[in-house]
């Protein structure tokens, strides 16, 4: 059963939606749009615990091939809304009436089953992609890629520096009880390159095993959310 559709049909609109709409008029840019969307979709408001309000946007699914047991992942919010939107957005796991905020990279454990190297890489990229990294409060890096041309986009290092540092695309290996991922990332300021090795368990357990500085003083365009 589509829970959100059922809720929309059977549940009265929760009190306080007018207040959310009023708040939306005071917010700028994307944050205002999100607040309006939330106010217009008050049927998405649910409780996973008595004191925790959780919202999610069913039009913003987070794609992850390794999700199991009927879980779906969406972009959503807890009980705080503000600007910029990304500073407050959360990953929300949904299965029927059960809604859970997954605040950290380790929170996906038990919601996924990693069966292949491709799925291990997909998982770690969730924590470092510009489109999703802000959903996880412990995300501190952006995956580094080589610029295709003279201009750099978000997360791209210029070709000359990439080649001089002998950087390469991610390498995924089989490991005990899971996989290891070796790749190059850049810090939130876009100035320091690291080589990291991450360990991904088959149940979604995640940790950074090693981190080593490769270069300082580089220039990589990065998004600023805070």
pTM for this entry: 0.77
77: domain range?
Answer: 3-102
* 56 inside domain: yes
Contacts of 182 (CB under 8 A, 6+ apart): 170, 171, 172, 173, 195, 196, 197
Per-residue model confidence (pLDDT) at position 80: 81
Query: Quick check: helix, strand or coil at residue 130?
Result: coil
Report in angstroms the alpha-carbon separations of 45 from 29, 94, 216.
Answer: 23, 12, 45
Helix or strand (DSSP H, E) at 164: helix 159-164
Task: Assess whether 90 and 131 both reside in one domain.
Answer: no
As to burial, measured by CB atoms within 10 angstroms (0-12 exposed, 13-18 middle, 19+ buried), residue 191 is: middle
Task: Assess whether 95 and 127 both reside in one domain.
Answer: no
* 81 inside domain: yes
Please identify, among 49, 78, 102, the residue that sits at the C-terminal boundary of a domain. Answer: 102
* 18 inside domain: yes
* 96 inside domain: yes
Per-residue model confidence (pLDDT) at position 52: 59
Task: Assess whether 78 and 123 both reside in one domain.
Answer: no
CA 23, CA 1: separation in Å to the nearest integer? 32
Decide: 78 and 47 in contact? Cβ < 8 Å. Answer: no
Contacts of 12 (CB under 8 A, 6+ apart): none
* 109 inside domain: no
Task: Assess whether 59 and 125 both reside in one domain.
Answer: no
| Number of domains making up the chain | 2
Task: Assess whether 172 and 205 both reside in one domain.
Answer: yes
pLDDT in tens, the chain (226 residues): 333 332 333 333 333 333 333 333 343 344 444 444 444 443 444 433 333 588 899 999 999 999 998 999 999 998 787 888 888 899 999 999 999 999 999 999 999 999 999 999 999 999 999 999 999 999 999 999 999 999 999 999 999 999 999 999 999 999 999 999 999 999 999 999 999 999 999 999 999 999 999 999 999 999 876 5
Please identify, among 46, 68, 102, the residue that sits at the C-terminal boundary of a domain. Answer: 102
Farthest-apart Cα atoms in the chain, separation: 61
Task: Assess whether 51 and 121 both reside in one domain.
Answer: no
Decide: 39 and 27 in contact? Cβ < 8 Å. Answer: no
- In 3D space, the residue among 127, 136, 125, 23 whose CA is nearest the CA of residue 89 turns out to be 136
């Amino acid at each position: 059963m589509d829970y959100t559709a059922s809720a929309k049909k059977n549940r009265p609109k929760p009190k306080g939606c007018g207040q959310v709409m009023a708040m939306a008029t005071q917010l700028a840019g994307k944050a205002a749009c999100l607040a309006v969307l939330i106010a217009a979709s008050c049927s998405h408001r649910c409780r996973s615990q008595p004191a925790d309000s959780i919202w999610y946007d069913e039009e913003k699914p987070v794609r992850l091939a390794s999700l199991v047991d009927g879980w779906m992942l969406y972009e959503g919010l807890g009980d705080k809304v503000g600007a910029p939107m990304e500073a407050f957005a959360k990953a929300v796991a949904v299965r029927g009436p059960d809604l859970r905020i997954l605040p950290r990279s380790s929170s996906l454990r038990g919601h996924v089953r990693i069966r292949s190297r491709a799925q291990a890489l997909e998982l770690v990229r969730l924590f470092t992609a510009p489109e999703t990294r802000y959903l996880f409060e412990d995300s501190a890096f952006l995956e580094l890629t080589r610029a295709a041309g003279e201009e750099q986009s978000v997360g791209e290092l210029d070709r000359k520096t990439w080649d001089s540092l002998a950087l390469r695309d991610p390498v995924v290996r089989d490991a005990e009880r899971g996989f290891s991922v070796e790749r190059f990332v850049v810090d939130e300021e876009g100035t320091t390159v690291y080589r990291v090795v991450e360990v991904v368990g088959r149940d979604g357990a995640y940790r950074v095993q090693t981190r080593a500085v490769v270069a300082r003083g580089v220039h990589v365009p990065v998004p600023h959310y805070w």
